[in-house]
Homo-oligomer: A and B are copies of this chain.
């Protein structure tokens, strides 16, 4: 931790609250899995980056039979293979599809609507478990329409609260599954929650009261801005960031437009540059927190998070900072180029602030 004071605000452009190599949401993952599945159950799980990898690791350690579908990092979940597996699974051995909506390590957004279409097409009863950590309240997310059975997120992402709450939402089908799921669980057991909910005392043990009040306030802020406007704002910031990356002559780690993420952009650097050096300089000289490249993309990408309680001028300050750093590390960027590209787009697309019209 950095206790020592610097002037002004730290420029936090990580896709999460602190610059550490692994995700929160770990408890929420475990809650989703142990309440709906039994040891030995087959899950289909997509490995497309560090966070899906960690979830898969958890599934394996919890003794599920994990059928891993791997893609190159920078690609989305391979849904063709999912289709094949579903088509072949006549006896319904697949109990759950585990998928991250947005892979925070590579800036890849998976298409959940297609997942649902495939499940429906093959009339497959598998549960759909979705990690929405870096998507819910920032990207378009439709629990009912997409038939998501368990959706989970954390307080510290798009909700813009402090860390501490894992939020898990279960469909009636998931609740039903929890009655027969044999995974050992106590702290995470939904039954305890449901029991106390019905009793009217709500919590099986002392909850984080201050974060529950915070959640109430966070949701109020989202409703005040309008959820559609919140999503549109993230769309704008994702687009503006990608235009800047293009103007710098750099590549997006995400290989196709269909997977572009509006909450985090992973930027590929040329081979002669160590992306960790960029993150280090951002922190040491410009008081800016960028995201490191993790695991397979370590040294190859740096990440700009653009989610949560953030607006366009803050993002532009970040982009200007990145330009200076690129130059610092020897990349021949034209100063102002990314900012100009982002501004050209934003200038015509930022709406008036309704309360100030």
Contacts and interface: CB of A to CB of B under 8 A. Distances in A.
Interface of A: 1-9, 11, 16-18, 20-27, 29-30, 39, 58, 61-63, 154, 156, 162-164, 183-184, 186-189, 196, 201-212, 221, 224-225, 230, 233, 283-288, 309-321, 323-324, 327-328, 334-337, 339-344, 346-347, 350-357
Contact of A313 (B156, B203, B286): B286
Contact of A24 (B23, B206, B356): B206
Quick one: which of A233, A311, A318, A319 has the most chain B CB within 10 A? A311
B186 A63 contact: no
B63 A184 contact: yes
A227 to B, nearest CB: 12
Contact of A4 (B22, B206, B224, B324): B224
25 contacts: A2-B356, A5-B221, A5-B224, A7-B230, A8-B309, A18-B206, A20-B202, A20-B203, A21-B201, A23-B206, A24-B206, A26-B186, A26-B187, A30-B187, A162-B210, A163-B207, A164-B211, A288-B313, A313-B318, A317-B320, A320-B343, A324-B347, A335-B347, A336-B339, A336-B340
B62 A186 contact: yes
B7 A284 contact: no
Contacts of A284: 352-353, 356-357
A3 to B, nearest CB: 8
B186 A30 contact: yes
A353 B311 contact: no
A343 B230 CA distance: 31
Contacts of A342: 320
Contacts of A23: 205-206
Instruction: List the 4 closest A-B pairs by CB distance, nearest first.
Output: A336-B340, A317-B317, A8-B311, A4-B355
A99 B35 CA distance: 28
B347 A20 contact: no
